[in-house]
Amino acid sequence: MEGFLISKTVFASCELGVFDVLLGAERPLSAEEISQAVGASLDGTQRLLAACTGLQLLNTQQDQGRVLYSNTEQASVYLTRSSPLSLFQSIQYNSRTIYLCWHYLTDAVRSGRNQYEKAFGVSSKDLFEALYRSDEEMVKFMQLMNSIWNICGEDVITAFDLSPFKVICDLGGCSGALAKQCTSAYPECTVTIFDLPKVVRMSREHFVSEADQRISFHQGDFFKDPLPEADLYILARILHDWTDERCIELLSRIYKACNPGGAVLLVEALLHEDGSGPLTVQLYSLNMLVQTEGRERTAAQYAALLAAAGFTNIQHHLTGKIYDAVLGHKEID
Ligand code: SAM
């Protein structure tokens, strides 16, 4: 019932920069010092700091009758902007976009449709036109996509031995975070990031450096334009955006473009076969309802989609983290 109180406490603390101020100070600070540094009322700040302490995001110590606050390790690692494992941008996207869509969850369940129109006044006829309704929104979405692969990208990329696949295409590769994990895990591969033209432009400008010579870009619409030939196609968090029909359409196009002996790697959060969990994935599936045309699926459901497109020898691997891997092969003729 009150889970949202916790989310909003984390959102507000990050947005105000509480954890950044404490990181920068390099010493414990009082509520007065923090409220001044973040430009907020003393009373409000004191209550926020108390809640963060209860959530074990802040440590407290007494100093001559004053309470001093410092970040817990978890807060320093995940909630500060500058940390290499920062979730700051994801938290902002949750706060400013996803939370607003979830306001209409009841309507989404009633209608079985996403709630972009109600939440943002934009038609969701073209899903990614709605998501990318401005350059600013697109960058925020790309930052959301980017952060998680610093935390669990290596697990999904090494779930199977992908070293036999030298030419890799990351379809809907977005900011290139998973492509970078791939080139560092497999020194002999090259990765082409295929994405919509404006995403490719932004990714080139802000996310992937030219020094990264094993990563290149290809712009296009994966439902319409020719796909580059490759030994392996990565589809990370792509199929969960779309209906079964659209998924089979896309997988069939991939099957045609794929070199014989090649494969497709799906990176998705897998539901248990009996639907009993994991809770995070069950909640993500509701998130897909309020935000997209898709859903989260079980390994068997993904296997059925892959088989319908022609892929064989389908295996899945649970990583124990949020995202898992499913691999399907195209037989050598
Ligand atoms: N694979 C990335 C990851 O896991 O971080 C991004 C996943 S994001 C949910 C979906 C990606 O698919 C976005 O980068 C989006 O721009 C891209 N995309 C959506 N529709 C597309 C289309 N028709 N053609 C090419 N890319 C598309």
pLDDT at 274: 97
Q: How many A from CA of 172 to the centre of ligand 1?
A: 3
By most ligand atoms within 8 Å of CB, the mutation choice from 114, 126, 127, 128 for ligand 1 is 128
Q: How close is the Cα of 80 to the center of ligand 1, in Å? A: 27
Class of the 153-330 domain? alpha beta
Are the beta carbons of 87 and 79 closer than 8 angstroms?
Answer: yes
Tell me: domain 2-79, CATH 1.10.10.10, correct?
Answer: yes
Check: CB of residue 294 under 8 Å from CB of residue 302: no
Give me the half-sphere count of Cα atoms (radius 13 Å) on the Cβ side of residue 9: 20
Report whether residue 284 contacts ligand 1, using a CB cutoff of 6 Å.
no
> For residue 185, what pLDDT is reported?
97
Give me the pLDDT at residue 223, please: 98
Q: Which atom of ligand 1 is nearest to the CA of 145?
A: 5
Q: Is the CB of 241 under 6 A from ligand 1?
A: yes
Separation of alpha carbons 306 and 329, rounded Å: 9
- Residue to mutate, 238, 293, 323, ligand 1, most ligand atoms under 8 Å from C-beta: 238
ipTM over 0.95 threshold: yes
152 closest CA partner among 218, 237, 233:
237
Of 4, 17, 76, 71, residue with least CA distance to 45: 17
pLDDT number for residue 211: 78
- Residue 301 CA to residue 243 CA, distance in Å, equals 12
- Looking at the chain, which residues constitute the CATH 1.10.10.10 domain(s)? 2-79
Which tens digits make up the pLDDT trace of 126-181? 889 989 989 999 999 999 999 899 999 999 999 999 999 999 999 999 999 999 99
- Give the distance (Å) from ligand 1 centre to CA of residue 118: 23
Residue 164: in which H helix or E strand, if any? none
Long-range contacts of 3-10 (CB under 8 A, 24+ apart): 6/55, 7/94, 7/95, 7/99, 8/95, 9/48, 9/51, 9/52, 9/55, 10/55, 10/57, 10/79, 10/91
Does the C-beta of 311 come closer than 6 Å to ligand 1?
A: no
Distance of CA 305 to the CA centre of its chain: 22
pLDDT, residue 20, reads: 98
> How many angstroms separate the CA atoms of 203 and 40, rounded?
35
Residues spanned by CATH 3.40.50.150 within the chain? Answer: 153-330
What is the 21 CA–ligand 1 centroid distance (Å)? Answer: 34
> What pLDDT does residue 210 have?
80
Q: How many Å separate Cα 54 from the centre of its chain? A: 28
pLDDT at 286: 98
Q: What type of residue sits at position 110? A: R
Listed as ranges, residues in the chain with pLDDT below 70 are: none
Tokens of 204: 């080139």
